[in-house]
Amino acid sequence: VIPERPGPCAPEPNAPPPLGLPVSMGVRAALELAAGHVAASTPGQIWVTGEVTQVTRSPAGHLYWTVLGDGARLACSALGLDARRVLEALAGANVALVEGLALRMLGILAVYVPRGSVELRVSAVDPRTALGAHELARRQLRAALACEGLDRSQARLAPAPAPLAIGIVAPAGAGLADLVGLLDASPWAWSIRTAEVSAEGSVASARIAAAIPAAAAGADLVVITRGGGAGIALPYDAEVVARAVCRCAVPVVAALGHTHDRSITDEVAWRSVPTPSAAAALLCALIEAADAAIVETTQAIALAVEGRLDAVERNLDAVEAAIARELAVAQARAERPEPARLAQVVSAGSPAGEAARLRRIALVCALVALCAIVVLAIVVGLR
């Protein structure tokens, strides 16, 4: 048995034990001893970088998480104002303290006695480095698609005038049932082709990518959806799926059900909606718009024809009125003598007119008598 020397939890009133012998102490005292050594041997604040996991927040507003790196893990905490400062710094960089985030933190190493663990008491973070490996991969993929001109290929597509032929890529489950059920309940004549593809497992993304062109064949529009649940958004961030969406010849609607994290599929799709129900509403709205276009066009034609016929009718009314006026004038003319004729009649009945007539008769008689005398003279002469 190794002799002991008294420690803080087992005080011995006598003289201190000889140096080199073990000291007897309680758990808290041992940890407080360690805490003292840690505090004394670390150079104040230090920068530590690691990958965030196990984030929790207490009701009092304190933050606790763990960082991983180099095959080790380190508990971290930010208390009170420090917690608020950390969150504000990350929000300023448009990132959240979430699993997978690569974070550089400033703090002091300390022993948390109640748990017997060493932790980093964080007072600040460097938001410039706050980028998770997954997010980094997403950004690189986004940049690659943009460089190839694929990221806007879906946005440039126009849907069919009435996209009734729908291809659906989804795992079997509630999400698919919701979408198909809502479409079936609508008044529109959908032609639905479904490719049931699991969104879980290591080959999920490859299966989803292969199902997209299959669903698009003969379809006006493709819907990629899932049934919900956490942690299965990963296949929709896969490059192979994003490229299949970008290359799809018909518009793709992404309805992947996660409202906080937009996947690459959401970003490159023609439209992104949060849920299968929202996708059904979008499709129904497209057909309602098509129906309204028909109504609007037929009404416009009917109004135009009506306007033209009204114009013709107005012209006919005008012609009819003109004819009526002419008839009235003609009738009035028939019922009273024309002024010229009346003047002629009036002129023929006057004394001057009678004298002229008598002069014309006398002149004719004189000419006849002259002719008779000439004929008589000729006859006498011949005899």
Partner 1 sequence: VSYASDLAALEALRARLESDTELSVEALAAIAARADQLGARARATLRAARSSPAPSPPRAANS
Binding residues for partner 1 (CB under 8 A)? 160-162, 164, 169, 180, 187-198, 207, 210-211, 214-215, 287, 290-291, 293-295, 297-298, 300-302, 304-305, 308-309, 312
Query: Quick one: 95 or 204, whose CB is closer to partner 1?
Result: 204
Query: Quick one: 102 or 250, whose CB is closer to partner 1?
Result: 250
Q: What value does the CA radius of gyration of the chain take, rounded to a whole number of Å?
A: 53
Amino acid found at 169: V
CB of 322 to partner 1, least distance (A): 19
How many residues does the structure list for the chain?
Answer: 383
CB of 226 to partner 1, least distance (A): 15
Query: Quick one: 105 or 166, whose CB is closer to partner 1?
Result: 166
Query: Quick one: 176 or 269, whose CB is closer to partner 1?
Result: 176
Query: Quick one: 219 or 254, whose CB is closer to partner 1?
Result: 219
State CA 132 to chain mean position distance: 28
CB of 256 to partner 1, least distance (A): 18
* Residue 196, beta-bridge partner list: 170
CB of 215 to partner 1, least distance (A): 7
CB of 157 to partner 1, least distance (A): 16
CB of 299 to partner 1, least distance (A): 9
SS3 109: strand
DSSP letters, 311-357, are: HHHHHHHHHHHHHHHHHHHHHHHHHS--HHHHHHHHHHTSHHHHHHH
Cα separation of 316 and 311, whole Å? 9
CB distance 104 to 90 below 8 Å: no
Query: Quick one: 164 or 253, whose CB is closer to partner 1?
Result: 164
CB of 221 to partner 1, least distance (A): 14
Cα separation of 163 and 250, whole Å? 10
CB of 273 to partner 1, least distance (A): 21
State CA 250 to chain mean position distance: 16
Look at the block and give the residue holding tokens 């929790």.
56
Cα separation of 194 and 103, whole Å? 42
CB of 259 to partner 1, least distance (A): 27
CB of 188 to partner 1, least distance (A): 6
266: tokens are: 């959401």
Look at the block and give the residue holding tokens 């606790």.
64
Cα separation of 375 and 112, whole Å? 172
Look at the block and give the residue holding tokens 């306007």.
307
Query: Quick one: 63 or 224, whose CB is closer to partner 1?
Result: 224
Cα separation of 123 and 324, whole Å? 101
Query: Quick one: 103 or 166, whose CB is closer to partner 1?
Result: 166
Tell which residue, 179, 374, 187, has the closest CA to residue 274. 179
Tell which residue, 280, 295, 230, has the closest CA to residue 257. 230
Cα separation of 327 and 18, whole Å? 147
Query: Quick one: 22 or 201, whose CB is closer to partner 1?
Result: 201
Query: Quick one: 200 or 354, whose CB is closer to partner 1?
Result: 200
165: tokens are: 């032929």
